[in-house]
Structures are given as structure tokens and as C-alpha cells.
Structure 1
Amino acid sequence: MRLRFLPSLLLGGLLLSGCAVNPVTGKKEVMLVSEGQELAMGKQSDPAIVAQFGLYQDEKLQQYINTMGDKMGRISHRPDLDYQFRIVDSPVINAFAVPGGYVYFTRGIMAHFNNEAQFAGVLGHEIGHVTARHSAKQQTTSIISQVGLMGAMIASPQVARFGEQAMQGLQLLTLKFGRDDENQADELGVEYSTKIGYNAAEMADFFRTLEREQQKAGGEAIPDFLSTHPNPADRYTHVNQLAAEWKAKPGTPAKLDINRDAYLRLIDGITYGEDPRQGFVENNAFYHPELKFEFPIPQGWKSQNSPQQFQMADPAGKAMMLLTLAPGDNLQQAAEAVAKELSLQVSQSRELKVNGFPALAFTGTQVQQDQQTGQQQTGMQVLSYIIQDGQSLYVLIGGSAPQDFAAYAPLFTRTMEGFQRLTSADKLNRQPEHVRIRTVKTSQTLAQALTANGVPAKRHEEMAILNGMQLSDKLGRGLLFKVVGK
């Protein structure tokens, strides 16, 4: 969490309909979004996405994705589009695109690719979503949606309504394309990566990695009939078949590149997993080494950290809290801005000290106007603390339905008044892990190589997935492989 403000995201003006020729199929289809609107949507979305997640600072890796992306864009069905490629600072294994040619890869997915061909296939898949105008065909503007307070975890409609207003951040989402769109994007990923000289069958192998990650996460793969998307196992089969067909086409080079070693050397040192410098949770507390503060988290509450804010939610779905930067130059300005943003009628307000920090605490009730009836409706009841640390103003917000507020107010207060300076050297000096590329010295199994490099047995399966291998796989002398360390 680096805590920054987000620009407003304006994705209006999507009601203009008409016919347009799809660049991929060549067929006319009804479009709710013109090409000009599509380009505008991308330009408006990009600053918010970057503000929410931050860019991963690696000039060499960014240059690589730019070069590969530009090369692929030129052979795509929309070669004149001004594609923009970003690596965002998130450990999640994900890649996504928004209208207008903006394509994003997380550092998490970059760490899990094991060769250039895998990256090229997924790059082609995301460019395919853009060229086939899948985003534009969606009859919604929620390509980037307001953070919904831990998404579906909070079931209360009142809390959800509060969340849509309280959180101005944006949540990185896997775009919910339908099965046909996903299959078409896979086809285009195979086509585009093959055309620039890569073996698209490697893209199929990456779906094996996704499948294993899905299983490691603790849930069985969603059966096809319960999902609108192809599951990783079926995509593996489909993409392998497509890759074989493209390889057999006249004009396709007899030898298609994989480039394993070059890619592994490129990502040597990439940050792996959560970055504790941006804040981390441990022993029912949130610590931020860079900003040097800490505060407690209620026992059993779920939490989610992002560069823009830290969110906490009661597992019963009846209350939430968040911390983010407050607008304004002083405590009073910040309090007024927060109350206005949340449509709060403030009932009490007082200045105080929170562990030496100047603070202002206030309670209020959210009052909104029903758009259909015009009548005012009472929503959440809120406790908020504005805390000043030098030039920084932090806002801690806790909210619940009015009938539950008395029960949750003591929890809110303990958390907010627990905000204090972080002084523990162990927490202040916490460092992230990084991918390290090692060379096999003598022929051995992956399990033996991991043990020889100091990887504990409890992390062997995690490292096997990261390498796209099985622990029993034989590694020849001189082979490169990944481990993880500080």
C-alpha cells in the first residue's frame, strides 16, 4: 500500500449504438461503443489502474514488454492502434486489457512464465481481446469497477452501497468475458504468437500452471457447466490443437522459438509474492514499514491491501473498515471532505490525540436520495478518525448498519485508537522475496535441486509450480531453474 489519490474515472457516453465491422471477423455487428469512445475509455481507465496498483519499476522488463507488444501489435488485426503495455505491481497471476489497446501484466504472472513463448501466447490472447473488441461489445461500463469492500465477502446491501461511495479505488479484475470470447482470444493468441515466431504450444503448457495454482488455492476447478469460461484443462487441449494447426500452415517457420534461458535471465530478481514494504498483516495487526505506522485488526476479520488503501471486513458481512489518505490540508478540511464524499450527516465531532498524533474523530449517518422516489434514505452509520502524521492525513473509516453500530463501535474505536508509530526493527526492515535463477550443477531431480539450494520441503510444491515442473522431473546439468529468496 503506497496510498495515493485516484483520478476520477469517467466512462460515460456509452449509449450511442450502431453497426461496425469487427476487425477480426470482418462481419458487421451492433456496437454500443464507437471506436472513438473505446479509445477514450482506455485513456481514462489507464491512470486509475496505474494509481491503484502502481507500476512495477524494472526498466529492462518494461522495455522487453514494449518491444514484444509493438512487434505483435503490427501483425494483429488492428495494426494502427497505439498499444500501451504496462507491468503492474501486483503478486496476483493475471493479465488483462481494457479498450483502446491498453494491456496489463502483473509482476505475478511475469514471475510464473518459464519462457518467452508462454509470455507471447498470453500477450497475443490479451491483444486478441482488444482487436476483436470484446470489451466494447460488453453492454456495461464496469470494465473497471469500484472496489466493493472485499467484493462479495460483504453481503449486506447497505454495506455494499456504502462501499461504492466510500472507496474511490479501482479493483484489478479478470475481465468477465464469455466462453466464446475467451476461446476466440485463445485462437488469436496462438495466431499472433506463431506469426512472430513463437511456439504457441507453450501457451497451452502455461494453462497447466494456472490449473495447478487453482488447485493449490484450495478449491477444485469450477466445472464447465458452472462457468462461462473455459477451464484451464480444456484450454490446454484446445490451444495445443490450435498450435499444431498453425504450425502446419504454409509459411510458418519450421522451427518456432521458445527461448527459455533468455526469459529466465530476464526475470532474475523479480519481486515474488506480497511486498511487505507496501504493508503487511501479521498477528492481527497491519504494519507499514515505508510509512512507519501500525494498527490492530479485529480478531477474525478479513483484510485486503492495495497501493491505494487497506480494507478490513467482518466475516459476517455486517461491518467494514478501511484506511486511506484523506484529502485536505488540515484535520477539519479532511473531515469535511470525507463527510461530503460519504453523504454523512455528522452528529458528533471532537479533536483528540491518538498515541501522540493530532486527530479528529466524528460519527455520522449516511443519508442518500432515492433516485426513483426522490425521498431521503438512511444508510450506514459511520465512525471516522482523521489522523495527522506530519504532512500526511490518514482517514480510518468504520461503518455498519445503524442497528448494528453499537455492537461494532468499540471494535472501530480500538482499531483507530491503536494507530501508532511503527518502531519494531523486525517490521521496519522486512523485505520482499525475489525470484532467483540457479543453474543445475549435476543431473538431479527438481526436488533435489531445490533442497540443494536451501528451499524448505514445505515450499517444494510451490516452487515446482513456479518452474512449471514436477518435483520428480530430471534436470540436466546446466539447466536453469527458479528458487525464491530475499
Structure 2
Amino acid sequence: MSEEDEQRIGKEQHPYILKSYGAYRSKRLQAYINEIGQKLARVSDRPDINYTFTVLDDDTVNAFAMPGGYLYISRGMLAHLNSEAELAAVLGHEIAHVTARHAARLETRSKIAKVFGAAAGLATGSSGGFVLGDAFGGVFVRGYGRKFELEADELGARNMARAGYPPSSMLATIELLKQKEKFEIRQARTEGREARVYHGLLSSHPDNDKRYREVIKAAENIGDGGAEERAEEYLERINGLKWGEREQVGILRDRQFYHPQLGIKMRFREGWRLDNEGSRIMAVSPDNDAILQINAYSYRNDTPEEMLKRQLGENNVRDGRSLTIAGMPAYIAIANRADSPFGPKPVRYVVVFDQRRRKAYIFAGAGKRDLSRIAADEDFIAMIFSLDRMNQADYQVARKLQVRVIRADETTSFESLADESPLPNYPVDRLRLINGMYPDGQPEPGQMFKVIL
């Protein structure tokens, strides 16, 4: 791959990436990330490239580089970093992939095609990048491999030292992100699902391998000894950063679920949690043995009954009746057999037509051990029938969460903060993770740290 090819690929894929993720709407933050990125790029091995740095409106922990100097970092990644030096570690690692021409050094043309053929289909919902080995849905890590990841660590650490940041912060960043990945694996095991980790740092930087520590520590001999972490400066820059899913996914406050974009709300049962996969919303039971899925579609001029029977087949529907929910026409029935997260099962269906928005809300509930009877049907019905339209007070309650920076005192603990936290799942663990204090750390009196409000 020539340098001209690199420039062409990066320029061609940039609009696709922005369309898939969206650029984060903060000129101030975009300018700050560009400032740090350009500072690192100027001391890199290829300072002549026209580098472009973009913060993506993506809550996953994600950063990646495209050929030609196009680099991306998600707001989810920024929320988990705790100093400007850690930011420099992520950006320096990604710049190194560009300067070392790792894409051009892929062994075969088929690998190149495999990597960049995936770029046009980015909207997969999977995270990638620094924590995931520079992956669009896992593809980049299969292309680059461990050898290039270690080289990017080494070159990135050198660039950090030249730019006035301690290379040891790259080690801290790797460990922080490995803890995030370990938490995700434990969480997935508890919830009975696959971990949303695609060839991450646990595979490219295993705990029993000291090589990446050695190549990073070697960079500490570079620079003038005046390296700074700039922790408080960084935290002040990200104060007010948006937290959580994008607007189209919905928000859970205590047991109340709000979807501001659709203008609807519903109440979850005690202990049920919210789980999102792309545009699909799921309420999951405490024992992970029952799931209520919620999807929204545009509808034509048919009725809720006609829509459901067209999808499932006339003979596959029983116990059906028409009704209204929150003043909206609806149809409730059971499918004798239909696809579910647990395979083919009897499924409780409700279709609700929102005539104001021309949307059909389709609810589908199933249980892991259901044969003919739906064990969690009472829970499904209670949640579905709680559906209502949002009012002005609801929109205020459902405002987007933000990362807020506060200073600890003698009484501060993550446990006490979690009691009042709007985070729906694992609030203590999540607060520790974003502050680099997982699994059992606490903020020191006088220390600046992050909360979610």
C-alpha cells in the first residue's frame, strides 16, 4: 500500500465513520483533543502527515486510527481516562499505528481488503480500537496482531516522552482498560451472556507477559525529566461530558424507563435491568431467565392485529384480543412458537400503534425454560401495560447524564455516592472503573474525581 493509497483510504472512510458514530458536539472538547493529538504528532516519526483528530459521540471505550492520519477517540474512552498523560497514551498508540504504516505492512492483499472492506459497515454496535486492538468489530486486531500492538506501545511511549508526558502513564492506561475488560467479562458471566469484548487487551497484553512493560519503560530515558501527568487539567476539560447511550436508545432511572426520542415511558419490574443491543431494547429478569424485547417500527395503514399476524402467521397466534394502552390501539396475543433470545419459544406479543408518531411498538417476552406456558407472563404484562406517553416533567427527569468532577472530603466513598447514583446497573463498580480505582479503591480527601449525574 503506497502513501497515496493510505491517504485515499482514510479520506474515503472518514465520512462513513462520522455517519456511523457521529462527531461529539463540543467545539471546545474537539479543539482540546486536536491540540494534544497535534502535539504528539509533531514529535512522531512522520510529522509531515496532515493528522485529523475527532471525538466520536460513542459511549463505548473506543479509539482507532485509519491510514492517512485519521484518528478517532470516543467520549466513552475519555470518560474512563483520568489525566492528560493517559489521553496522550491512547492517542500516541494510535498515531504509532499510522507512523509505522501497520496497515501497509499487512502480509497479504486479502488482509488489507478484509480490514478496510469492513469500514463501510461500521454501525455494528461493537466497540473497537485501543482497548480492542484497533478493531472495527474485531477486524483490525486480526489484521495487525500482537507484534504490531507491541510496536505501537513502544513508539507511542517514545512520542509521549518527547512531548513531555511520562511513559509510565501508558502502563497505567493499559492496566485501567484491562480492568474495564475484566469487569465486562465478569458482568457478562453473571448476566448469562457473551462478553462484549473483541480480541481485547487481555489477549494482546496478558498479565504474565512483561514485554510490553519493558518496551514502555525503556522510553523513560527519553525527554528532559519534566514530564507531567496533568490530571486536574484533564478532569476540568471533560467536566460535563455526556454519559451513556445516544438519544435513540433510552434511559433507565430507578425502575422507570424513558425513551425521549419516542416520547414514551414504562416501568420495569423490581430487579429487572435494562440491556441495549443497537436499537433493540431489552428488559432482563434478575435471574437472566426471562427477557422482554422492545422494538419500534414505522407502520402502514394496517391494524396492530394485522401487523402481528402478518409477521407470525395466522395459525401461530392464540389468545388474541384488541385493546387500548395509554389511549393507543393495541393487540395482545401469544405466539405458539417464535424466535427469542432463548431460541424458538412461546412468546407473549403486544403491538401498540402510536398514531401521533406513526410508530408501532412491538413487545416480545419469552423465558428460558418455557415450553407452552410463559412463566414470566405476569411480569411481561405489568411492564407492557405501564406504557405511557412522556410529559414535560418526564423529559426533565430523563435528561442525559453527564460526567461531573467533584472533590472528595473525609466522608466521601463510592458506596455512599452509589446510593444516590442514577446509574442503573453496578453503580459502585462503574464509579470505580471510570476513576481508575477498580476493584476496591476509594477517593482520597482533597482528590478530584468523577461522578455521573
Aligned positions, number: 399
2:102 corresponds to 1:132: yes
2:37 corresponds to 1:63: no
2:126 corresponds to 1:171: yes
1:187 Cα deviation after fit: 2.4
2:200 corresponds to 1:241: no
2:226 corresponds to 1:258: no
Closer, same or farther in 2 for the Cα pair 1:472/1:284, shift >3 Å? closer
- 1:83 alignment partner AA: T
Rounded Cα–Cα distance in structure 2 between residues aligned with 1:65 and 1:393: 39
Closer, same or farther in 2 for the Cα pair 1:60/1:308, shift >3 Å? farther
The match for 1:86 is: 55
2:177 corresponds to 1:210: yes
- 2:214 alignment partner AA: Q
| CA shift digits 1:285-319 (9 cap, x unpaired) | 53336654223557776642378442346799998
Rounded Cα–Cα distance in structure 2 between residues aligned with 1:63 and 1:426: 34
The more displaced of 350-359 and 460-469 is 460-469
| CA shift digits 1:433-470 (9 cap, x unpaired) | 532243xxxxxxxxxx4435686557688766654469
Contact 1:422 1:428 in 2 (8 A): no
Contact 1:359 1:388 in 2 (8 A): no
Contact 1:277 1:430 in 2 (8 A): no
The match for 2:359 is: 393
Which blocks of at least 5 consecutive residues in structure 1 are unaligned? 1-19, 24-32, 148-167, 368-377, 439-448
Closer, same or farther in 2 for the Cα pair 1:258/1:63, shift >3 Å? same
Closer, same or farther in 2 for the Cα pair 1:474/1:453, shift >3 Å? closer
2:157 corresponds to 1:190: yes
- Of residues 391, 404, 410, the one that matches 1:451 is 410
2:95 corresponds to 1:122: no
Rounded Cα–Cα distance in structure 1 between residues aligned with 2:411 and 2:236: 20
Contact 1:272 1:484 in 2 (8 A): no
2:265 corresponds to 1:326: no
Which blocks of at least 5 consecutive residues in structure 2 are unaligned? 188-194, 419-427
Contact 1:310 1:324 in 2 (8 A): yes
CA-atom RMSD in angstroms = 5.4
Rounded Cα–Cα distance in structure 2 between residues aligned with 1:45 and 1:333: 38
Closer, same or farther in 2 for the Cα pair 1:37/1:380, shift >3 Å? farther
**2:229 match: secondary structure:** coil
| CA shift digits 1:340-398 (9 cap, x unpaired) | 9xx8667679875322024467998999xxxxxxxxxx989874625315225143253
Contact 1:294 1:421 in 2 (8 A): yes
| CA shift digits 1:173-203 (9 cap, x unpaired) | 4334243343233223223333434322212
**1:326 match: secondary structure:** strand
Rounded Cα–Cα distance in structure 2 between residues aligned with 1:320 and 1:473: 37
Closer, same or farther in 2 for the Cα pair 1:36/1:464, shift >3 Å? closer
1:44 Cα deviation after fit: 2.6
Highest RCO, 1 vs 2 (Cα 8 Å, sep ≥ 6): 1
Contact 1:327 1:333 in 2 (8 A): no
- Of residues 273, 289, 305, the one that matches 2:276 is 305
- 1:229 alignment partner AA: S
1:119 Cα deviation after fit: 0.2
- 2:218 alignment partner AA: E
Contact 1:314 1:320 in 2 (8 A): yes
1:120 Cα deviation after fit: 0.8
The percentage of counterpart residues that share the same residue type is 20
Closer, same or farther in 2 for the Cα pair 1:203/1:352, shift >3 Å? same
- 1:95 alignment partner AA: N
1:112 Cα deviation after fit: 3.0
- 1:187 alignment partner AA: E
Contact 1:65 1:85 in 2 (8 A): yes
Rounded Cα–Cα distance in structure 2 between residues aligned with 1:336 and 1:69: 55
The more displaced of 254-263 and 319-328 is 319-328
Rounded Cα–Cα distance in structure 2 between residues aligned with 1:139 and 1:276: 32
